[in-house]
């Protein structure tokens, strides 16, 4: 297609930074939606797609579709959301007006860009997570998110088509050519990646059980709360390492206490 | 879907004005795209759809699809674009980087809203015109437009899916609500007072010593770091109480471990 005019040959997010943004689709059911998400990504200059627990025929069909773009062929498929976002320092859950009891900060989509570009500018990796077509992200999925973004849809018809939701979010992230990305504020501080937080959560949970912190029936609720807490605290890699060290030491001490 | 939080109960374009905006699809070939356009319209609170010279089976299929929204059933079908936009005072042609020899003013999508809302505010009627999937609006189509709007897509993959293009344009027209109220999470949260943090620091330090976390010589440095860390984390009163509970339980367990 001939192009002789380019208004936007620079984006809010420089090319290299857009490479550090992952689009993550959780359990998509419709191959057309996976294809549509991939197309929107290409339209707005993003290339990293992960699909969590895809319905197998759907996934194969989407990948092998005629004209399936390279980014779909390069897309990663993971068993669970934790794995898909393990390397990410900012995990953003998306939705419309469906959060019943928000447990994290909620940001309206028109205000998302500065948060994302700041994280990317300081070398972080961002995941933008989209739920399944029918019901969106579950409470469990949301517990892996540092913040939630809300697409401002109309109250009478809030639920968006998956491919359209991806397009709207990525458009928002690249629409504004004016403001350059903010200067890296906390460039020294490296935020702990999601996978490190999960490792830490596992060790803390082990310690909780070892000391009988709460009844067994409370363990799933505690695990959920702990995951949310660790994300809310914006721990650095160094914090995470030190807290991990302390809890491992605690566990060692308890396991060697002679009874 | 239950909704108990509405950030955007006011839009840039008041309800009555949105009724004066027509979405016009010129010769769409794929019934799914007509349905997708209708859904995006409902998502962003628009209701007037016209379809120009639809391919007949496509049009019947889209209209009779299960769950086809009222706005699709009420959509108008016209023979030609001139007829569809006859009552409109501002006709906006949409596209990506495809205008070879623009004959009108071209506005980047992020700058469209003031022009549209101004026209609607003074009682005008606006048409937002989308071309067929394959090639977009023809030169003939464009000649009915007062201005052209360009969706800022990436040069390597400029061409958007029709339903996604409609979603992105309507999102742009409604995205900007001035300042949404702060998220409930942040406002409810009460930050832990300094004294509580010191209490917590004391108990954590006691646990560190009890498990032999570090040599005695390191204890002042650890205490200092711990104090800084607890402040940096913005712990709430509730976080503090729970972490305190866990460390007290750890200490109790160690002190009753029989040696």
Packed helices B194-210 and A237-255: angle between N→C axes, nearest 10 degrees: 50
**Phi and psi torsions of A93, nearest 5°:** -85, 140
> CA–CA separation, B169 vs B154, rounded Å?
16
A residues 168-207 closer than 8 Å to B (CB): 168, 171-172, 174-177, 204, 207
Question: Contact B259/A254, CB-based, under 8 Å?
Answer: no
Q: How far is B38 from chain A (nearest CA, A)?
A: 11
* Cβ A37 vs Cβ A51: under 8 Å: no
Per-residue pLDDT band at B186 (split at 50, 70, 90): very low
Q: In this complex, do A257 and B252 lie within 8 Å of one another by their Cβ atoms? A: no
Q: Where are the alpha helices (DSSP H) in chain B?
A: 15-18, 31-43, 56-64, 70-73, 81-84, 113-121, 139-142, 162-174, 184-188, 194-210, 219-232, 237-255
**DSSP assignment, residue B96?**
S
Q: Which pLDDT does position B258 carry in this prediction?
A: 62
Asked whether A26 and A82 are in contact (CB, 8 A), the reply is: no
| Predicted local confidence at residue A139, as pLDDT | 86
Residue B244 pLDDT more than 60? yes
Q: How far apart are CA B54 and CA B37, in angstroms?
A: 14
pLDDT tens digits, one per residue of B137-161: 988 888 888 889 999 998 888 899 9
Interface test with A, best of B15, B21, B34, B175 (most A CBs within 10 A): B175
Closest to B48 measured CA to CA, from B135, B129, B150: B129
Q: What span, in angstroms and rounded, lies between the C-alpha atoms of A17 and A180?
A: 13
Cβ contact, residue pair B172, A171, below 8 Å = yes
H-run or E-run covering A155: none
Q: Residue A191 to residues A89, A120, A234: CA-CA distances in angstroms?
A: 6, 11, 7
Distance between CA atoms of residues B146 and B66, nearest Å: 37
At residue B227, the 3 state secondary structure works out as: helix
Q: Is B216 on the interface with A (CB under 8 A)?
A: no
Instruction: Say which of A44, A154, A225 has its CB closest to residue B153.
Output: A44
Whether the predicted pLDDT of B73 surpasses 60? yes
A62-71 long-range Cβ contacts below 8 angstroms, 24+ apart: A62/A31, A62/A32, A62/A34, A62/A35, A62/A38, A65/A31, A65/A35, A68/A35, A68/A38, A69/A38, A69/A39, A69/A42, A69/B157, A71/A38, A71/A41, A71/A42, A71/A46, A71/A47
pTM above 0.90, yes or no: no
- How would DSSP label each residue in A77-140? EESSHHHHTTT-SEEEEEESTT-SS--SEEEEGGGHHHHHHHHHHTT--EEEEE--TTT-S-HH
How confident is residue B169, by pLDDT bands cut at 50, 70 and 90? very high
Has the ipTM of the complex gone over 0.85?
A: no
Helices (H) and strands (E) in chain B, counts: 12, 7
Instruction: Provide the pLDDT for residue B100.
Output: 59
Q: Tell me how far the alpha carbon of residue A85 is from its chain's centroid.
A: 6
- Is B106 in contact with A5 (Cβ distance < 8 A)? yes
Residues of B in contact with A132 (CB under 8 A): none
Kindly state the DSSP code that residue B191 receives in the 8-state scheme: B
Contact A130, A3 (CB under 8 A): no
A chain contacts of residue B39, beta-carbon cutoff 8 Å = 157, 160-161, 164
The residue among B133, B141, B134 whose CA lies nearest residue B37 is B133
Which of the two residues, B113 and B179, has the higher pLDDT score?
A: B113
Helix (H, G, I), strand (E, B) or coil at A41: helix
DSSP assignments along A214-233, one per residue? S-GGGHHHHHHHHHHHHHHT
pLDDT tens figures, B198-227: 889 999 999 999 998 888 888 888 888 887
> What are the CA-CA distances from residue B203 to residues A243, B46, B208 (Å)?
14, 58, 9
Beta carbons of A55 and A81 less than 8 angstroms apart: no
How many CB atoms neighbour CB A44 within 10 A?
A: 26
What residues contact B194, with CB distance under 8 A and at least 6 apart?
Answer: B231
Q: Dump pLDDT digits (tens) for A150-163.
A: 999 988 888 999 99
Which residues in chain A land under pLDDT 70? 1-12, 67, 97-102, 177-189, 258-259
Q: Exposed e or buried b for every residue in B170-189, given b needs 16+ CB within 10 A?
A: bbbbbbeeeebeebebeeeb
Contacts of B150 in chain A (CB under 8 A): 7
> Which of A1, A97, A212 lies closest to B159 in CB terms?
A1
CB A2, CB B158: distance < 8 Å: no
Q: Which of residues 44-73 of A touch B (CB under 8 A)?
A: 44-45, 69
Task: Report the pLDDT value the prediction gives residue A99, as an integer from 0 to 100.
Answer: 56
CA distances from A169 to A41, B171, B235 (A): 10, 10, 31
**Residue A201, class by beta-carbon neighbours within 10 Å (0-12 exposed, 13-18 middle, 19+ buried)?**
middle
Across the interface, whether the CB atoms of B253 and A102 are under 8 A apart is answered no
Select from B43, B180, B211 the Cβ nearest to the Cβ of A108: B180
Contact A43 B160 (CB under 8 A): yes
Conformation bin of residue B234: beta by default, left when phi > 0, alpha when psi is -120 to 50: left
d(CA B234, CA B189): 10
How many Å apart are CA B69 and CA B92, to the nearest integer?
A: 25
């Amino acid at each position: 297609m001939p192009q002789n005019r380019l208004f936007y040959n620079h984006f809010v997010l420089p090319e290299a930074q857009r490479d550090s943004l992952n689009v993550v689709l959780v359990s998509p059911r419709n191959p057309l939606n996976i294809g549509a998400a991939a197309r929107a990504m290409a339209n707005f200059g993003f290339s990293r797609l992960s699909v969590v627990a895809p319905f197998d025929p759907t996934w194969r069909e989407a990948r092998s579709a005629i004209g399936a773009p390279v980014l779909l062929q390069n897309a990663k498929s993971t068993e669970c959301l934790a794995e898909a976002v393990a390397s990410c320092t900012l995990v953003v859950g998306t939705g419309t007006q469906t959060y019943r009891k928000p447990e994290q900060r909620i940001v309206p989509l028109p205000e998302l860009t500065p948060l994302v570009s700041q994280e990317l500018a300081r070398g972080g990796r961002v995941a933008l997570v989209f739920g399944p077509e029918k019901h969106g992200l579950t409470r469990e999925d949301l517990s892996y998110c540092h913040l939630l973004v809300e697409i401002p849809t109309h109250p009478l018809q809030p639920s968006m088509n998956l491919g359209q939701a991806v397009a709207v979010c990525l458009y928002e992230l690249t629409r504004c050519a004016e403001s350059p990305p903010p200067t890296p504020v906390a460039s020294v501080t490296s935020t702990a990646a999601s996978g490190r937080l999960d490792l830490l959560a596992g060790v803390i949970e082990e310690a909780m059980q070892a000391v009988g912190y709460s009844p067994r029936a409370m363990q799933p609720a505690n695990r959920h709360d702990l995951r949310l807490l660790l994300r809310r605290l914006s721990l650095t890699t160094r914090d995470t390492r030190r807290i991990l060290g302390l809890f491992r030491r605690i566990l060692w001490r308890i396991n060697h206490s002679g009874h």
